[in-house]
Structure 1
Amino acid sequence: IPVLCDGTAQSTLGMSYSLASRNLISDMVVNQMEAQSYHSAIVLSGCDKSPFGVLNGLVNLDLTRLNRSDHPLHASFIPSHVLKGGTIPQKLESELRSISEKARKTGHENLADDIDETLDYILQCSSNQAFQGILQRCVQVKLISAADHKRIEKELAINTCDSQGGICAFYGTGNSSRIAVSSLGLVHPDVELLTEPPTQTQIQSVVKSLFSVIQKAEFSISTIVSKNIENSIRVMNATGGSTNLVKHMVAAMLYAGYRFDLWDYQRIRNAHPIPDIFDYSLTKGRDIFALAQQCCDGKSRGVETMINTLVENEVPMALAVPTISGQTWKQRLG
């Protein structure tokens, strides 16, 4: 399912279509699931708000089928792997630093500072967007030509994109959706945080677990989401991420048929002190790719580790609730 990227649409009229794209995805999911009479789904979820677009459609369809006494709907998500941040080629980096020096010498201190700061970040869609604005300013003050702007922008894009796709390493909406959907209990632990596309063995683990819960109402997608919403809110507030997730998580509960609003989100958030457990940084090797590497190396269990850490800090977490793995969190942490 195609979805726009906020990282490249921001600061343009394209952002007017951003939130609407999530709801259109939900409609498409319902259309296809109903047209083919599917009772379950393996969701190859992508970036930005597309995971919640799919999720909202599925929970709403599950509710619809429940109301017409049909079979429950089940779904297991396989998030796209995490991309390692790109690297600016040395020659281009030298050119950008020269532009920064020129900006400083000509009295454009703020522009020089912005160039230097942005060079500290790994390459991904949001840093490309930052460079786009910086380069436009450079053209306006005649530090570079319009042709140089386009050439530099193209070279940055080439060194950012990956032929295998994936989600950028920063903790934006894409990876926030990954962690949120995982903490909602909808992702098998074998595929939660990968640095490469999943192997056939990993996919088989997902399929096997999904088949083990089919026809069991307690593992339907709307049930899992409603039972795990407080866990997910606490995990997201303990780890940071995109503020966009507030509206996406509220929407998921509304699509699932519950009366739920921002005040409910705030009530759950404020019910107990939540520690900051993720020292995330895009400049110090503590991005989501580094977290995925730890998971692949067996040094972390991703969301399971996050939930366990919150339990150890006496944050009330619902451990007896179902997840799509066929186990409760208590069983998974055991």
Structure 2
Amino acid sequence: MSELPQPIPLRSQEWFGKRGKDGFIYRAWMKNQGIPAHQFNNKPVIGICNTWSELTPCNAHFRELAQSVREGIIEAGGFPLEFPVMSLGESMMKPTAMLYRNLASMDTEESIRANPLDGVVILAGCDKTTPSTVMGACSVDIPTIVVSGGPMLTGMQRGQPISISDVWRLSERVKTGEVSTDEMEEAEACTCRSRGHCAVMGTASTMACMVEALGLTLPGNAAIPAADSRRKVLAHYSGMRIVGMVRENLLLSDLLTRQAFENAIRINTAIGGSTNFVIHLLAIAGRIGVDLRLDEFDDLARDIPLIVNLQPSGQYYMEDFFYAGGLPVVINQLLPRLHGGCRTANGLTIAENYGEVAKHPTDVITPVDNPVKAEGGLAVLTGNLCANGAVIKPSAASPHLLTHRGQAVVFETIEDYKVRINDPDLAVTETSVLVLKNVGPVGYPGMPEVGNMGLPEKLLRAGVTDMVRISDGRMSGTAFGTVVLHVSPEAAVGGTLALVETGDWIELDVPGRTLTLLVDEAELDHRRQQWQPLPLHMNRGYWHLYQTHVQQAHLGADLDFLRGHSGSIITRESH
């Protein structure tokens, strides 16, 4: 007769299971919340990591979502304890929420490690809350499941759908006089009409798809609208499931294998995900200890077409994506090109979860053999202008500009750009290449979403709708255009981008995956000797720590001392 498996020792019992003075203190203080003694009796303690904040509008409904998670944990026999971590509101934070992604990850990591938690449910929605919390959880590596906040419902203006992606078009049409300021204000009131994050395949939606593709959520997590009651149901089931993950000792490192990262890259290509996916996935890989290189994104994505017809690369919205079956339909279509044996948070494999998904008759998600666009959502460029790489989103670019040669119009800083871009005397034509320096991880600091520079007003009035733009910064996942981003090394650390001068010829060849500054090496050496870095923006606090330790974009812009996970063990007692 075989022996029954032994239960997994609970980490929380190092606190609540102690006898004597230490155990007395841990339990007594918790009991002031009205918690009965039996809750401490070898029950899995589940942390609900909540990024709720009224300053993060995408996440403002998370109190309700946390309650659904809590009910699921209790139903499964767990002991739920909710805790806050730093919330990152993409639409509010200056100079950029990306500056604080690594700080929020440290908050998450230390909050999990320092407390009596056996498993964690992460509630995340706005762009940086998902990668930051996942990065922090990876560094501790205990059972973890993610619940995304969900996209908002599609906005409507005068009977037409509208989303945050339209702000780029509208702002340019205001400049040309096609749209009045009154119409712009009306659009402002129509765009964000419900709880949830951006209604398009921007960064927040991309991050929700990323964590499902990695296997960190229950199937179907990515696309359920925030206002749909099924979002709460998924949260409830996630609360139940984390208790099972603790009992099975199913760790993040069991799920986040090399093959899982490869799956996520292929799936992101098929959905036309944000370029920000690259920098966040690289950082997560660095935390969990998977060796992932920027050039591999291109290698893995080469044969994957765009099959999701969502803005900004296509026509529809996340609400439509959900009605069409959401990410499960995409994964089902891609299964022959994925590692189907990768385990996921519910204990099943990708193939088991998505192998029998019904295909909906819709043009929101197309068949792989009849895609929206043959070119997928991402290309990685190399060349003397980006020795360590740069990225572009071909699906959101103008086809005629994917191979282009033009003269640079250089802006040394974002302030320089704002002062000069609409100057009628600016020497710029539609064939020019706009180059923005010093908006990378160190230079800004924090690598803001300013890479999709607005076009000069005089060219907009002449009917120009797109130009090649190059920077060491990022762009919003809701944006579009022929925009080269994440140039590495950045200008602030002396990369070749720092040496570009107005009038230099630049050649972009997306099919050939190259970005070349057509200046001979002797001249570049001369410029390099003359180059002087700009002073750091701050000599104290987190800004200083960030600027002196942040890695370059091709490594995920994490802090150098945070790569690799240090585990859940605490070596010192509190009493």
TM-score normalised according to structure 1 size: 0.70
- 3-state DSSP class of the match of 1:185? coil
- 3-state DSSP class of the match of 1:42? strand
Q: Does 1:58 align with 2:137?
A: yes
Q: Does 1:291 align with 2:321?
A: yes
Tell me, yes or no, if the aligned pair for 1:184 and 1:231 is still in contact at 8 Å.
yes
Q: Does 1:81 align with 2:150?
A: yes
Tell me, yes or no, if the aligned pair for 1:188 and 1:206 is still in contact at 8 Å.
yes
Which residue of the partner structure matches residue 420 of structure 2?
A: none
Q: Which amino acid aligns with 1:78?
A: V
Q: Deviations over 1:4-43 (max 9, x none)?
A: 326x88xxxx4x4232222122112113213323232212
Q: Does 1:310 align with 2:310?
A: no
Match of 2:235 among 192, 199, 203: 203
CA distance in 2, matches of 1:258, 1:284: 33
Which residue of the partner structure matches residue 320 of structure 1?
A: 341
What's the offset of the Cα at 1:129? 5.0
CA distance in 2, matches of 1:277, 1:248: 23
Match of 1:175 among 205, 230, 245: 205
Q: Which amino acid aligns with 1:3?
A: L
Query: Alpha carbons of 1:183 and 1:267: their partners in 2 closer, same or farther (altered >3 Å)?
Result: same
CA distance in 2, matches of 1:175, 1:161: 15
CA distance in 2, matches of 1:179, 1:251: 17
Tell me, yes or no, if the aligned pair for 1:46 and 1:79 is still in contact at 8 Å.
yes
What's the offset of the Cα at 1:259? 2.9
Q: Deviations over 1:160-193 (max 9, x none)?
A: 233x520222111111111111100111125432
Q: Which amino acid aligns with 2:329?
A: T
Which residue of the partner structure matches residue 117 of structure 1?
A: none
Tell me, yes or no, if the aligned pair for 1:238 and 1:277 is still in contact at 8 Å.
yes
Q: Does 1:125 align with 2:210?
A: no
Q: Which amino acid aligns with 2:138?
A: V
TM-score normalised according to structure 2 size: 0.42
- 3-state DSSP class of the match of 1:41? strand
Tell me, yes or no, if the aligned pair for 1:4 and 1:21 is still in contact at 8 Å.
no
What's the offset of the Cα at 1:247? 1.2
What's the offset of the Cα at 1:215? 4.7
Tell me, yes or no, if the aligned pair for 1:188 and 1:325 is still in contact at 8 Å.
yes
CA distance in 2, matches of 1:283, 1:53: 26
Which residue of the partner structure matches residue 46 of structure 1?
A: 125
Query: Alpha carbons of 1:224 and 1:236: their partners in 2 closer, same or farther (altered >3 Å)?
Result: same
- Rg: which structure is higher? 2
Which residue of the partner structure matches residue 192 of structure 2?
A: 161
Q: Percent identity?
A: 20
CA distance in 2, matches of 1:283, 1:267: 21
Q: Does 1:276 align with 2:306?
A: yes
What's the offset of the Cα at 1:308? 1.9
Q: Which amino acid aligns with 2:333?
A: T
- 3-state DSSP class of the match of 1:326? coil
Query: Alpha carbons of 1:133 and 1:39: their partners in 2 closer, same or farther (altered >3 Å)?
Result: farther
- 3-state DSSP class of the match of 1:159? helix
- 3-state DSSP class of the match of 1:322? coil
Structure number with greater CO (CA < 8 Å, separation at least 6) is 1
Q: Which amino acid aligns with 1:233?
A: I
Q: Does 1:22 align with 2:101?
A: yes
Tell me, yes or no, if the aligned pair for 1:185 and 1:228 is still in contact at 8 Å.
yes
Tell me, yes or no, if the aligned pair for 2:104 and 2:132 is still in contact at 8 Å.
yes
Query: Alpha carbons of 1:160 and 1:57: their partners in 2 closer, same or farther (altered >3 Å)?
Result: same
Query: Alpha carbons of 1:284 and 1:208: their partners in 2 closer, same or farther (altered >3 Å)?
Result: same
CA distance in 2, matches of 1:210, 1:250: 26
What's the offset of the Cα at 1:152? 4.8
Which residue of the partner structure matches residue 224 of structure 1?
A: 255
Deviates most, 25-34 or 248-257: 25-34
Which residue of the partner structure matches residue 252 of structure 1?
A: 284
Query: Alpha carbons of 1:190 and 1:284: their partners in 2 closer, same or farther (altered >3 Å)?
Result: closer
Task: Say how many residue pairs are matched.
Answer: 267
- 3-state DSSP class of the match of 1:277? coil
Q: Deviations over 1:109-139 (max 9, x none)?
A: xxxxxxxxxxx7x33333235434543x36x
Q: Deviations over 1:198-238 (max 9, x none)?
A: 45543332122222221544x31133122411111111112
Query: Alpha carbons of 1:279 and 1:130: their partners in 2 closer, same or farther (altered >3 Å)?
Result: closer
CA distance in 1, matches of 2:272, 2:252: 25
CA distance in 1, matches of 2:167, 2:245: 43
Tell me, yes or no, if the aligned pair for 1:82 and 1:292 is still in contact at 8 Å.
no
Q: Which amino acid aligns with 2:245?
A: V
CA distance in 2, matches of 1:132, 1:23: 32
CA distance in 1, matches of 2:312, 2:172: 19
> What are the within-5 Å matches in structure 2 for residues 93-104 of structure 1?
none
Q: Deviations over 1:274-315 (max 9, x none)?
A: 233223346986322101123xxxxx2x3332222113xx42
- 3-state DSSP class of the match of 1:214? helix
- 3-state DSSP class of the match of 2:334? helix
CA distance in 1, matches of 2:88, 2:167: 19
What's the offset of the Cα at 1:255? 1.4
CA distance in 1, matches of 2:212, 2:297: 18
Tell me, yes or no, if the aligned pair for 1:191 and 1:198 is still in contact at 8 Å.
no
Q: Which amino acid aligns with 2:90?
A: C
Tell me, yes or no, if the aligned pair for 2:202 and 2:312 is still in contact at 8 Å.
no
Match of 1:192 among 206, 217, 222: 222
Query: Alpha carbons of 1:213 and 1:290: their partners in 2 closer, same or farther (altered >3 Å)?
Result: same
Q: Gapped runs of 5+ residues in structure 2?
A: 1-50, 52-86, 357-575
Q: Does 1:331 align with 2:352?
A: yes
What's the offset of the Cα at 1:46? 0.7
Tell me, yes or no, if the aligned pair for 2:208 and 2:221 is still in contact at 8 Å.
no
Match of 1:34 among 113, 124, 129: 113
Query: Alpha carbons of 1:186 and 1:159: their partners in 2 closer, same or farther (altered >3 Å)?
Result: same
CA distance in 2, matches of 1:3, 1:279: 28
CA distance in 2, matches of 1:282, 1:247: 19
